[in-house]
Amino acid sequence: MVNKIVGNVMCLKSSIAGDDGKQYEVISLGPIGVLPEYQGKGIGGMLIAHTKKIAKGQGFRGILLFGDTDYYTRQGFVVAESFGIRNAENMYADALHGCELYEGALTSARGRYFEDDIYNVAESLVSEFDTLFPFKEVIHDTPMQKKFEMMVKKVKPSEL
């Protein structure tokens, strides 16, 4: 048994501004990370499955996230366009994915997804916070990061 933290996942409450004029509360999942030497052992999948279980138990309708289609479609997510859900700029985004926590939960909440503002935290504040912990090298330009950066640029206007 491993007696240390090898992965983590964070969640926030965010909202969908429904096309019907209603506000729908959803969960935003991410960031998620597993230590490189523990990746590919199902830990990321377990973190996501556990998040779904807790969110469902707390009565949330769905989980949304921006991420890699190849990974998240294996974890029960589908491209949010299939629910009619757009990003805050009212665009269908290839990287935006959703997972319904009960049948019809996101289809009935079609609209624009607004992430919590905390995701826009200034990099300088993050760097300052990081100084409270033992030094860790920040890795840039991994193949997955590059792929994600390409994917987040892929958006198309909605008809609404």
Residue range at the interface with ligand COA (CB under 6 A); choices 41-49, 84-92, 109-117, 132-140: 41-49
* 94 lies in the site for ligand COA, by CB under 6 A: no
Which stretch in 11-19, 28-36, 55-63, 113-121 sits in contact with ligand COA by CB under 6 A? Answer: 28-36
Judged by CB under 6 A, does residue 23 bind ligand COA?
Answer: no
Kindly list the distances between the CA atom of residue 109 and the CA atoms of 62, 81, 98, 137, 160, in Å, as whole numbers in the listed order: 10, 12, 11, 41, 14
76 binds ligand COA (CB under 6 A): no
Provide the strand spans (E) within the chain.
Answer: 7-18, 23-34, 62-66, 78-79, 85-86, 91-93, 96-100, 111-114, 155-157
Give me the least distance between CB of 22 and ligand COA, in Å please: 29
Place of tokens 């279980």: 53
- Please tell me the number of Cα atoms within 13 Å of 157 on its side-chain side: 2
Q: Is 80 among the residues that bind ligand COA (CB under 6 A)? A: no
Q: How far is the CB of 42 from ligand COA (least distance, A)?
A: 4
Paired strand residues for 17: 23, 112
CB of 39: closest distance to ligand COA in angstroms? 3
Q: Is 152 in the site for ligand COA (CB under 6 A)?
A: no
32 binds ligand COA (CB under 6 A): yes
Q: How far is CA 82 from CA 104, 106, 145, in A?
A: 12, 9, 25
- Residue pair 72/46 in contact by the 8 Å Cβ criterion: no
Residues at the contact surface with ligand COA, assessed by CB under 6 A: 30-34, 39-45, 67-68, 70-71, 74, 144
